[in-house]
């Protein structure tokens, strides 16, 4: 693991790191904030999955999470959103919603993407092992959150591994990618046309198929231009109500899809996570 940069913030260390990934076959960059702590202490870990076109840098620079993480004693990990580098396939038309920056947190099965787009295994297996080895992380106390495409990732990962993640939340998530244009393009391109294979990467479908978690927290901007066409949080509400999942769904008037929205409610989410992480 190579250290790209470190900076002191709120008494802790904000680092950016790079390593050679066995899953993606590329170099991958991620950021970690480690709050101030006693020598030898092990700290709970909050994972943050970013959205379309983003890297680790978006939340690291704009998320305004460090003050709360320092106060609450939380390690904050932000992976990249896709493999990158020479030879990594991109959208053939150069679109921003598929390919580089848009890995959708799945393990692709379709050529040419299957060679490198293994973001599911990267964020659920490979990177957690690296974090456990290199940082003072208590891997028995993990939680996960994300934004937009990353909100989709956080919900599907949390629903798939309910015993691993003690809290799951999202900002403006794509709750039912199998029913909206972003998701249909991504899941079809990465996983093929068999929609049955998409269901394990669709939060609403997972809940319909029996996945359960005690509680979910979702914040959504009422002024989000993607609300009705791509995000459709009401579908998650319907699924959670039918399954008996305690969903807190906050519709925030005046807020859009940007990091102005995310940073406004980041503190609420981190405190919600900390209460469940112990």
Tell me which residue range forms the domain holding 181. 2-277
**pLDDT tens-digit readout, 90-123:** 999 999 999 999 999 999 999 999 999 999 999 9
Query: What is the Cα Rg of the chain in Å?
Result: 17
Residue 251, token pair as written in the block? 């519709």
pLDDT value, residue 93: 94
29-70 pLDDT, tens digit per residue, is 999 999 999 999 999 999 999 999 999 999 999 999 999 999
Say which CATH number the domain at 144 has. 3.40.50.1820
Q: Which residues are catalytically annotated?
A: 148, 224, 257
Tens of pLDDT, residues 154-209: 999 999 999 999 999 999 999 999 999 999 999 999 999 999 999 999 999 999 99
Question: Total structural domains in the chain?
Answer: 1
Tell me the whole-structure pTM to 2 decimals.
0.98
CA distance 232 to 247: 15
Look at the block and give the residue holding tokens 């990091």: 259
Which residue, 216, 110, 241, 98, is CA-closest to 156? 216
Question: How many whole angstroms separate alpha carbon 68 and alpha carbon 56?
Answer: 19
């Amino acid at each position: 693991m190579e250290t790209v940069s470190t900076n002191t913030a709120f008494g802790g260390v904000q680092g950016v790191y790079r390593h050679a990934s066995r899953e993606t076959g590329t170099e991958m960059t991620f950021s970690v904030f480690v709050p101030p702590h006693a020598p030898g202490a092990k700290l709970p870990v909050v994972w943050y999955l970013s959205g379309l076109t983003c890297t680790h840098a978006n939340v690291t620079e704009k998320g305004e999470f460090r003050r709360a993480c320092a106060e609450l004693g939380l390690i904050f990990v932000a992976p990249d959103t896709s493999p990158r580098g020479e030879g990594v396939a991109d959208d053939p038309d150069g679109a921003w919603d598929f390919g580089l920056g848009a890995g959708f947190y799945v393990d692709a099965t379709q050529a040419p993407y299957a060679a490198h787009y293994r973001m599911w295994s990267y964020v659920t297996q490979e990177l957690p092992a690296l974090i456990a080895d290199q940082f003072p992380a208590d891997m028995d106390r993990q939680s996960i959150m994300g934004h937009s495409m990353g909100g989709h990732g956080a919900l599907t990962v949390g629903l798939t591994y309910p015993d691993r993640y003690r809290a799951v939340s999202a900002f403006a998530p794509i709750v039912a990618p199998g029913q909206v244009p972003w998701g249909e393009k991504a899941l079809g391109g990465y996983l093929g046309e068999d929609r049955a294979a998409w269901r394990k990467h669709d939060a609403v479908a997972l809940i319909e198929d029996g996945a359960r978690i005690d509680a979910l927290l979702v914040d959504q901007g009422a002024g989000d231009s993607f609300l009705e066409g791509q995000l459709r949080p009401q579908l998650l509400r319907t699924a959670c109500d039918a399954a008996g999942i305690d969903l807190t769904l906050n519709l925030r008037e005046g807020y859009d899809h940007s990091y102005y929205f995310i940073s406004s409610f980041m503190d609420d989410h981190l405190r919600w996570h900390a209460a469940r992480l112990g």
